[in-house]
């Protein structure tokens, strides 16, 4: 089969999917940009282009506060999730006898509704919730703990649980790819277990770690369900503010502006992180 017909066939067959995603991601973005330049005047849209929304968003301390908090919460979630997941990925890839079974066990809980998993944490951490009632019944505490629910801690914990497999799988794949002879060579050359982990395994899995971080960081910045259910007022994130603009506040132009700014901030942090982490990975090696 010659190359030209391969290109033609490949392009034609993949076109529906590519165009569908391309259109439904690109077209809304363009319209979102348009909206961000318009203004809402009560019930009408004023279509005169202006940067007023950006000015409002960038000078509003609430917006800045929520944006920074969202990024910090997501960064914390990323660190916690990846740190907890790495040993599991390592265990499954190199130590476990039944890899398939372990991978299945890790993924099954995440085949359930995200909304319900987050909701479950609300029930666990609540004032009259599962955790408090269990601790009271066991006599470990005298009165319910109040610091469990409705704060950043609850959001980080819930998200770290919800995104666990997304950290485990990419790291597992990258550990799986390491040539065992490299580890043997390290041992033969006198490295102890810790040294060969730090100087062989860890640097070679940098790509997996970076992938895991991005897969968790990017979507969690815009998470709506978790901050709404377990965040309380201290755990609100940027997505809550965006939803209000599209809902109760009925200020779509401002909502569009906030969406775009959130996307830009996430993209910026992600790019800086990738460059930083790759450089670090190379230097260790």
Partner 1 sequence: MKRLSGLQTYAILYLVFLYVPVLLLPLFSFNDGTIVAFPIKGWTLEWYRQLAGEATLLNSLVNSLIVGSVAALLSTSMGLFAARAFVRYQFTGKRFSEGIVMLPLVVPGIIVASSMLVLFISVGLRPSLTAVILGHTLLALPFSVSILKSAFDDFDISLEEAAFDLGSGVWETFRRVTLPIVVPGIVSSILVTFTVSFDEFVLAFFLSGNDPTLPVYIWSQIRFPAKLPNTLALGSLLLLASVLLLVVAELFRRRSSNKLV
Instruction: Give the alpha-carbon dihedral of 90, 93, 96, 98, to 10 degrees.
Output: 150
Q: Is 264 in the site for partner 1 (CB under 8 A)?
A: no
Q: Is 108 in the site for partner 1 (CB under 8 A)?
A: yes
Dist. CA 53–CA 68, nearest whole Å: 19
Kindly state the smallest distance separating residue 134's Cβ from partner 1, in Å. 5
Report whether 246 contacts 252 (CB < 8 A): yes
Q: Count of alpha carbons within 13 Å of 229, Cβ hemisphere only?
A: 20
Applying CB under 8 A, which of residues 58, 68, 114, 141 lies at the interface with partner 1?
A: 114
- Options 75-83, 178-186, 187-195, 260-268: segment touching partner 1 (CB under 8 A): 260-268
Residue 44: count other Cβ atoms within 10 Å of its Cβ: 8
Q: Give just the sign of the alpha carbon dihedral 215, 216, 222, 226.
A: positive
Radius of gyration of the chain (CA): 23
Q: Is 99 in the site for partner 1 (CB under 8 A)?
A: yes
Kindly state the smallest distance separating residue 91's Cβ from partner 1, in Å. 5
Dist. CA 218–CA 212, nearest whole Å: 10
Contact letters for partner 1, residues 179-218 (x by CB under 8 A)? -----------------------------------xx--x
Q: Is 250 in the site for partner 1 (CB under 8 A)?
A: no
Applying CB under 8 A, which of residues 104, 271, 272, 280 lies at the interface with partner 1?
A: 104
Q: Is 51 in the site for partner 1 (CB under 8 A)?
A: no
Q: Which is nearer to partner 1, 80 or 200 (CB)?
A: 80
Encoded tokens for 2: 């010659």
Q: Which is nearer to partner 1, 148 or 164 (CB)?
A: 164
**Which residues 149-178 are close enough to bind partner 1 by CB under 8 A?**
161, 164
Task: Tell me how many degrees the CA angle 216-219-223 measures, rounded to the nearest 5.
Answer: 115
End-to-end Cα, the chain, rounded Å? 43
**Which residues 67-86 are close enough to bind partner 1 by CB under 8 A?**
84
Kindly state the smallest distance separating residue 69's Cβ from partner 1, in Å. 15
Q: Is 232 in the site for partner 1 (CB under 8 A)?
A: no
Give 40's DSSP letter.
E
Q: Is 11 in the site for partner 1 (CB under 8 A)?
A: yes
- Helix-, strand-, coil-residue percentages of the chain, each rounded to 5: 75, 0, 20
Applying CB under 8 A, which of residues 27, 58, 185, 271 lies at the interface with partner 1?
A: 27
Q: Which is nearer to partner 1, 164 or 171 (CB)?
A: 164
């Amino acid at each position: 089969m010659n190359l030209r017909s391969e290109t033609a066939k490949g392009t034609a067959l993949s076109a529906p999917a590519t165009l569908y995603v391309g259109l439904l991601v690109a077209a809304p973005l363009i319209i979102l940009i348009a909206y961000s330049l318009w203004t809402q005047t009560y019930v009408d849209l004023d279509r005169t282009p202006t940067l007023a929304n950006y000015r409002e968003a960038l000078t509003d301390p609430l917006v800045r506060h929520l944006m920074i908090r969202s990024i910090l919460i997501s960064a914390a979630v990323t660190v916690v999730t990846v740190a907890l997941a790495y040993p599991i990925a390592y265990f499954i890839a190199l130590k476990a006898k039944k890899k398939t079974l372990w991978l299945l066990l890790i993924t099954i809980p995440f085949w359930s509704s995200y909304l319900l998993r987050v909701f479950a944490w609300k029930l666990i951490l609540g004032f009259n919730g599962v955790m408090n009632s269990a601790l009271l019944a066991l006599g470990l505490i005298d009165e319910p703990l109040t610091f469990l629910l409705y704060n950043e801690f609850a959001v980080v914990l819930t998200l770290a649980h919800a995104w666990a497999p997304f950290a485990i799988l990419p790291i597992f794949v990258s550990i799986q790819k390491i040539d065992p002879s490299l580890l043997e060579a390290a041992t033969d050359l006198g490295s102890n277990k810790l040294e060969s982990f730090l100087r062989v395994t860890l640097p070679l899995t940098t790509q997996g770690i970076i992938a895991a971080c991005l897969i968790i960081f990017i979507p969690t910045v815009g998470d709506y369900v978790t901050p709404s259910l377990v965040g309380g007022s201290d755990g609100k994130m940027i997505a809550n503010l965006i939803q209000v603009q599209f809902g109760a506040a009925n200020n779509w132009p401002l909502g569009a502006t906030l969406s775009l700014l959130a996307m830009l901030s996430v993209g910026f942090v992600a790019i800086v992180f990738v460059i930083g982490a790759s450089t670090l990975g190379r230097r260790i090696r």
